[in-house]
Chains A and B, each alone.
Chain A
Amino acid sequence: MATEQKGMAVPEDNKEENSVLPEPKPPEGTTAASASGEGAKEKPSVPDSETKPATPVAKPETPAPATGDKPAAAPAAAKPAAPAAKPAPPKPEGPKPEPWQSELVYKLKAQYGSGIKEASTYVGQKYLVVDSSIAYEILLRMRDDELYDYCVDITAVHYPKREAQFDVVYILYSFHHNERVRVKTQIKDGETLRSAVAIWPTSNWLEREVYDMFGIGFEGHPELKRILLPEDWKGHPLRKEYPILCQDQQWVKNNLGIESGQ
């Protein structure tokens, strides 16, 4: 138990360094020196990865867990990334979402108008962004009329800086079309969505997990309570403001009889 927690605590330091470092720009001299050092280190290992030997190629991975290397490894990783970011903006001919044109989209747009905020494909994967007020209707329609009969997953993404903080994502699959579609809707903190349990019974646990991890409520859910964490736990861990080492200390004290779980 203790070792596990130590293991968790150590990479945390690394993570903080990682996230802090890119912001304050280090002096020119050091950047150049360490960047060239990094470049020299990198070059020999590149051909290696194309041939085969296991050991030298494994190196780029090993520095991370090893405690001693960390302060050195973290800036090394962060710095080449920073110069790389400058030429990056022209470079990414990376995929962009493209408008998704199909009969289904025309039909939905004709019926719901601006309720369908976006219909796009990204790297060949289709998704719809719909208004939260019509989300339930769209889901029902997707199942009944468009034969998306299998609800693969329901999850959420937290964007604390946005006004509508949460994306709730429904991943649907159609056995008939052999195709997946993601239906996304955006809601504010404290707003609720209508539960999809009546459409797909599988939503039961999936929505409970979203509630547990993000604190998003689902109206009409038969038993909306926490599923992975204890019932009286405070906080919703997958929100961005919840730090990685945070625990409900009071709960730990009351239930485990120890001062801290960490």
Chain B
Amino acid sequence: MSDFENDYRHAKSGQSGPGVVDYLDLDTKDQTYLDANELVLNMGPQHPSTHGVLRVILKLDGEKVLGTECIIGYLHRGVEKIAENRTYAMFNPYVDRMDYVAAVSNGLGYCEAVEKLLNTEAPPRAQYIRVILTELCRIASHQVWLGTHALDIGALTPLFYCFRDREEILRIFEKYCGARLTTHAFRIGGCIYETYDGFEQDCLKFCDAFLPKLDEYEELLTTNRIWVRRTKGVGILKPEDCIALGVTGPVLRAAGVKWDLRKAQPYECYSKFDFEVPTGLNGDTYDRYLVRIEEMRQSVRIIRQAVDGLPQGPIMAKIPKVLKPPVGEVYTSIEAPKGELGYFIVSDGSLQPYRLRVRPPSFVNLQALDKMVRGLLVADVVAVIGTLDIVLGEVDR
């Protein structure tokens, strides 16, 4: 790494090391270059690298970012209002439309929350099926992230590799429940579909085939000099900043905080599986990349264990046909691919939720953008948006 030590980028991000100049300091105290006016640049909402309809207003000095403002809400559909006007079961498919690249995770979080409200639990077999599908979904979500993130930075091939391999997962989803993206795979109280013949084999086959492919991704990127220079030291977020900003998921873990809800407060049957929570050291874009890659490996481990231990039995808990949860309020959350996804539901004992609040990981994580890009270049904003792994459907709800 020593050849990066004196790299301009390292100097810019304020890391210590020989020959490092504090870039921000240099700018504010000593106006060495053109006394240009502050430039306001509008990025988005129709910009390919904003991963949807996100508009970022950049305040620039030359090419250096002084500050940002995010304009969001272009995809606001009023999901929380809709929930108040639907029965608990009717709202279930709507949650798939929030984080549409990880629909299965959204559904799991919602079912968990309503089950908590009903004071019930899915039967063991349903829990295992849920875990298998959710981990497959985590891999699929990370593949979309890796493909698009690498594309933003200029590497075209990973996109094709990721989407090619993601197809296998979507095929399993399709065989299981008939849908590829907005799956509506789970129901309140368990699963509605029994696994199809050959489900276990398909999952194991995917696991076996996927690990070498993951190595292939890494071969393309991990030691690629362009990739490393574009990501190392870019968008550093320290652990204390992560916590203050409420940032969760791989972004938090890359900063070195070993916190994963699957371990911290295990839901479903995650406590039965043996897996590691990968963490990073520097909290930069490169570490977030490594953390997510490793998470995919751990997901494969979980899937293998879950398929091996898949118990027999019912897949649906005994819950009433007409769901009328008792009066009360609960907050439950799961570790979605992007971070902590929580549902806060207030029940007044009627057929519909009195209030349903979604705590979206993307929305909260996106707030850290401003902190991460200050002092970087415009091109780095693209890298940082990619590394945050936001889905605008979930940001705007």
Mark A residues whose CB is within 8 Å of B: 11-12, 15, 18, 42, 49-50, 52, 54, 57-58, 60-61, 64, 77, 80-81, 84, 88, 92, 94-95, 97, 122-123, 125, 149-153, 155, 157-158, 169, 171, 175, 178, 180, 182, 200-202, 204-206, 213, 226-230, 237-238, 242, 244
Contacts and interface: CB of A to CB of B under 8 A. Distances in A.
A202 B245 contact: yes
A204 B85 CA distance: 28
Interface of B: 72-73, 76, 78, 80-82, 84-87, 89-90, 116-117, 119, 192-194, 243-247, 257, 259, 264-265, 314-316, 321-322, 324, 326-331, 333, 340, 342, 344, 346, 351, 354-355, 357, 359, 363-364, 367, 396-397
Main secondary structure of the interface of A (DSSP, over half): mixed
A228 B73 CA distance: 4
Contact of B264 (A42, A178, A200, A202): A178
Contacts, number: 134
Contact of B194 (A52, A158, A175, A227): A52
Contacts of B333: 152
A152 B342 contact: yes
Given A64-B90, A151-B246, A153-B357, A18 B342 contact: no
B363 A95 contact: no
Contacts of A152: 246, 331, 333, 340, 342, 359
A157 B326 contact: no
Given A152-B340, A228-B73, A175 B259 contact: yes
Contacts of A12: 85
Contacts of B82: 244
Contacts of A230: 73
A150 B346 CA distance: 22
25 contacts: A52-B194, A54-B194, A57-B192, A77-B87, A81-B322, A84-B324, A94-B326, A95-B328, A151-B246, A152-B333, A153-B344, A155-B344, A157-B354, A171-B342, A200-B244, A202-B364, A202-B367, A227-B73, A228-B72, A228-B76, A230-B73, A238-B81, A238-B355, A244-B81, A244-B82
Contact of B342 (A42, A49, A80, A153): A153
Contacts of B359: 152-153, 155, 171
B356 to A, nearest CB: 10
Contacts of A149: 243-244
Nearest to B325: A94
Contacts of A58: 192
